[in-house]
Structure 1
Amino acid sequence: MSLNIKKKKMIVAKIRKINKRALSAVIANFCGVNNNNLNKLRKESKNKNVIVNIIRNKLLKLIIKGSSFECLDSLIHGPILIAYSFKHPGSAARLLKKFSKLDENLIIKAASFNNKIINSENIDFLAELPTYKEAIIRFLLIIKDISIGKLYRVLIAIKNIK
């Protein structure tokens, strides 16, 4: 289905709003991924606060021009899927990495975070960033270990005094 100029402008305006609010973006080649798997990916992305779009390359280049994701411009060729993260910068990378294990045809090309490009080999860095909830849990476990250790040392000191 061909798009007229009015529809193209609407798509660009809509995705630009998303582009401005996003913390990070991940692009992937989705050639060979069947429609059912793409629908599963979209459904799961809604639960993870990730927006997944398939946009024509020319429109995508217009959308990212002048934004913090402009570094991805040179990698946009062929069939491209773009995923935007909102609450956590690594959520789109985690989602696509998990999905690429389920369907080998989805190949992650690169990601962009803080105006820097992250290659597909280094995408694990972005995917392994702890979420706010995970960081709080780690912090509480560390405090728990420290307090138990201190209590243990106090009890040993009392035992040695007697």
Structure 2
Amino acid sequence: MDRTQKEASVASIHAALQETNLVVVAHYSGLTVAEMTNLRSRMRGAEASLKVAKNRLARIAIKGTRFEGIDGLLKGPTAIAFSRDPVAAAKVAADFAKENDKFVILGGGLGEQTLDAAGVQALAKLPSINELRAKLVGLVQAPATKIAGVVQAPASQLARVLGAYAAKGDAA
């Protein structure tokens, strides 16, 4: 990798970190290419990204971002996962780590706060932004559905009563 490629790599990681809310750092030693490809596709599916960069370059890239606290985690063969959603990358990384013991979560950063491995695992258990939005829409729609049912009920009851009187009149 020549100097221009290194500069491009640092600039790419730095730009990605400026736009993200969550960073997860993990060791990936021993994973096959197929397993890494699987992990990357899962990350893309959750609107997250995974980068493997030299630690020295990653340290340069995190300077000037709010994730400078993860500098101590960048040792050994590390992969950096990040997402705009505060829990997406953590969920995918935690799920993958459960299935594959060669993928070890070291920690991460949420905004300016540095997280250890337990913090990332706890974050992974939280619902994602899309799940929270769905719950909120469900809560907002529930009262409207109940109101529509209550308003509609007297009309249907009135129709049943009128139908009963009409049937009674026909019988007489």
Identity across matched positions, percent: 23
1:15 aligns with 2:13: yes
The runs of 5 or more residues in structure 2 that have no matched partner are 151-172
Structure 1 runs of 4+ off > 2 angstroms?
128-133, 136-145
How far did 1:138 drift?
A: 2.5
Equivalent-residue separation in structure 2 for 1:119 and 1:57 (angstroms): 18
Choose which of 34, 43, 46 in structure 2 pairs with 1:45.
Answer: 43
- Distance (Å, rounded) in 1 between the aligned partners of 2:129 and 2:40: 23
Secondary structure of the structure 2 residue equivalent to 1:129: coil
Q: CA deviation at 1:134?
A: 1.6
Match of 1:54 among 43, 52, 55: 52
How far does residue 81 in structure 1 lie from its aligned partner after superposition?
Answer: 0.2
Question: Is 1:93 matched up with 2:106?
Answer: no
1:32 Cα deviation from its structure 2 partner: 1.2
Aligned equivalents of 2:20, 2:73: Cα separation in 1: 19
Deviation track 1:37-93 (CA, whole Å, cap 9, x = no partner) reads: 00111112111111101000000000001211100001110000000102x111000
Q: Which SS does the other structure have where 1:82 is aligned? A: strand
Q: What root-mean-square deviation, in Å, do the aligned CA atoms of Structure 1 and Structure 2 show?
A: 2.2
Q: Which residue of 1 aligns with 2:106?
A: 109
- Equivalence for 1:156: none
- Show the counterpart of 1:160: none
- SS where residue 133 of structure 1 aligns? helix
Q: List alignment gaps of at least 5 residues for structure 1.
A: 153-162
What's the CA shift string for 1:13-52, capped at 9, x where partnerless? 1211111111110000101111110011111211111110
| Change in CA separation of 1:79 and 1:129 when aligned onto 2, cut-off 3 Å | same
Paired residue type of 2:70: L
Query: Across the two proteins, how many residue pairs are aligned to each other?
Result: 149
Larger radius of gyration: 2
What SS does structure 2 have at the residue aligned with 1:130?
A: coil
What's the counterpart of residue 73 of structure 2?
75
**In the alignment, structure 1 residue 123 sits paired with structure 2 residue 120:** yes
Report the TM-score when normalising by structure 1. 0.82
